[in-house]
Amino acid sequence: MSLKKGLLLCLLVSGTSLLLYFTYIPLTKKWLERTEEATKEHFQEVSGIYYVAYPRKYEFIIDQPDICEQQKPYLVAIVPVPPGDVDARNGIRNTWGKQKVFGDKVVLVLFLIGLHSGNDEEILQEKLRNESQQYKDLLQSNFQDSYRNLTIKTMVMLEWLSKNCQQASYAVKVDADVLLNMNNLINMLVSLNSVQHNYMTGLVWDNSIVIRDPSNRFFLPYDVFSRDTFPPYPLGMCYVISMDLPQKILQGAREVKPIYIEDAYLGMCLEHLGIVPTKPPNIELFVVRLLKYNRCYYSKLIAILTENTNQMTSYWTDIYSSSQPC
Ligand SMILES: *[C@@H]1O[C@H](CO)[C@@H](O)[C@H](O)[C@H]1NC(C)=O
Ligand SMILES: *[C@@H]1O[C@H](CO)[C@@H](O)[C@H](O)[C@H]1NC(C)=O
């Protein structure tokens, strides 16, 4: 098969799902301008940027080191969010992040940010310190917050969990535009007969195709990852891990070179550890498709990717403010 045909096929197979998949920052102009005439030599020359430097030396400059010890959560929810996106944080604080106790289970919701870069850097940093004092739910690490650094964000999240929350049973990583029905998530976890180990679940994708089209934002050159498909991994929008995993993944990651696609990278680490992600009891519980909103249907799911904080907030409000039974 010619390179051109191969690229087309990849595009056809993966394009449809990816279309709905992300709304991350657009590619730089340089990448958009690149055509498929790019040669293999060229890929090799630039492939350094598909690796993410993760030197394990980042530190938390805003931290809540004792919060797990104090609150003894069953589940810790971590939401990676850009430093400047206070609206997304407030949206979650006012919706699914509001309720902290479910029966005898305590839930902790924390926001994970990196460093902001830009001319308003110092003002924003002061605002963040204020926000942290007010809500005590911010974790800030000292790497530069950017889309290409999402894998670093995930790895420092695992470092934080492994260092500070060993006594919790589970952690869940939730993107800011996800509507989370916390109650359903806790019920699912409690219904597992015992606290799980080597457990990672979410919308598990098997055989996710590696994108070879240089104009696609998920493009990876062959010399960075040569297989046609990634090992199975739960989509980054929302995944749950048992609390033994952060440490194990960090250990395994020492031998798996990081790529910038954070969820696929976790799949690579799991595979290295010989761990297979667990499918949830019903795969439909974690939903990425842009389904037509339906209150009763949405209220039965665990995580639904929405378009933005406003949409998430309005769905959540509708689901939880109505007393109409489903
Ligand atoms: C942070 O809080 C202090 C004390 O309440 C206030 O004086 C200051 O203006 C706040 N800073 C920002 C950037 O909002
Ligand atoms: C990622 O973070 C590191 C550490 O702050 C920084 O040196 C690098 O420029 C960042 N990369 C991107 C693509 O933002």
| Segments of 164-243 assigned E as strands | 170-174, 178-180, 200-205, 233-242
Per-residue pLDDT tens for 282-291?
Answer: 878 998 876 7
Give CB contacts under 8 A, 24+ apart, made by 66-69. 66/164, 67/108, 67/110, 67/136, 67/164, 68/108, 68/164, 68/165, 68/167, 68/168, 69/164, 69/167
Answer for the pair 216, 11: CB distance below 8 angstroms, yes or no. Answer: yes
pLDDT the model gives residue 33: 34
Looking at residue 47, its pLDDT comes to 54
**Residue nearest atom 12 of ligand 1, based on CA coordinates:** 127
**161-165, 279-283, 318-322: range with highest mean pLDDT:** 161-165
Measure Cα distances from 296 to 299, 315, 323 in Å: 5, 11, 12
Q: Which two tokens stand for residue 260?
A: 């910038």
Min mean pLDDT across 36-50, 141-155, 195-209, 272-286 is at 36-50
CATH number for the domain formed by residue range(s) 60-280: 3.90.550.10
Q: Does the pLDDT at position 315 exceed 70?
A: yes
Choosing from 58, 61, 149 the residue with most ligand 2 atoms within 8 A of its CB, the one to mutate for a pocket test is 149
The phi and psi torsions of 214 (rounded to 5 degrees) equal: -60, -20
In degrees and rounded to multiples of 5, residue 75 shows phi and psi of -135, 135
Please indicate whether residue 44, judged by its CB atom, sits closer than 6 Å to ligand 1: no
- pLDDT, tens digit (0-9, with 9 covering 90-100), for 90-146: 999 999 999 999 999 999 999 999 999 888 999 999 999 999 999 999 999 999 999
More confident residue, 4 or 203: 203
Q: Whose CA is nearest to atom 6 of ligand 1?
A: 130
Ligand nearest to the CA of 117: 2
Residue 123 Cβ < 6 Å to ligand 1: yes
Least confident of 49-63, 97-111, 245-259: 49-63
CA angle 187, 310, 105 (to 5 degrees): 20
Q: Is 75 helix (H, G, I), strand (E, B) or coil?
A: strand
Per-residue pLDDT tens for 145-200? 998 899 999 999 999 999 999 999 999 999 999 999 999 999 999 999 899 999 99
Both structure tokens of 222? 């062959």
User: What's the 123 CA to ligand 1 centre distance in angstroms?
Assistant: 9
Which ligand is located closest to the Cα atom of residue 57? 2
Ligand lying closest to the C-alpha of residue 129: 1
| Better pLDDT: 148 or 265 | 265
CA-CA distance, 50 to 52, in Å (whole number)? Answer: 6
Mean pLDDT of the chain: 86
Q: Which two tokens stand for residue 192?
A: 């597992």
pLDDT-derived band at 304 (thresholds 50, 70, 90) equals: very high
Beta bridge partners, 113, equal 140
- Is the Cβ atom of 121 under 6 angstroms away from ligand 1? no
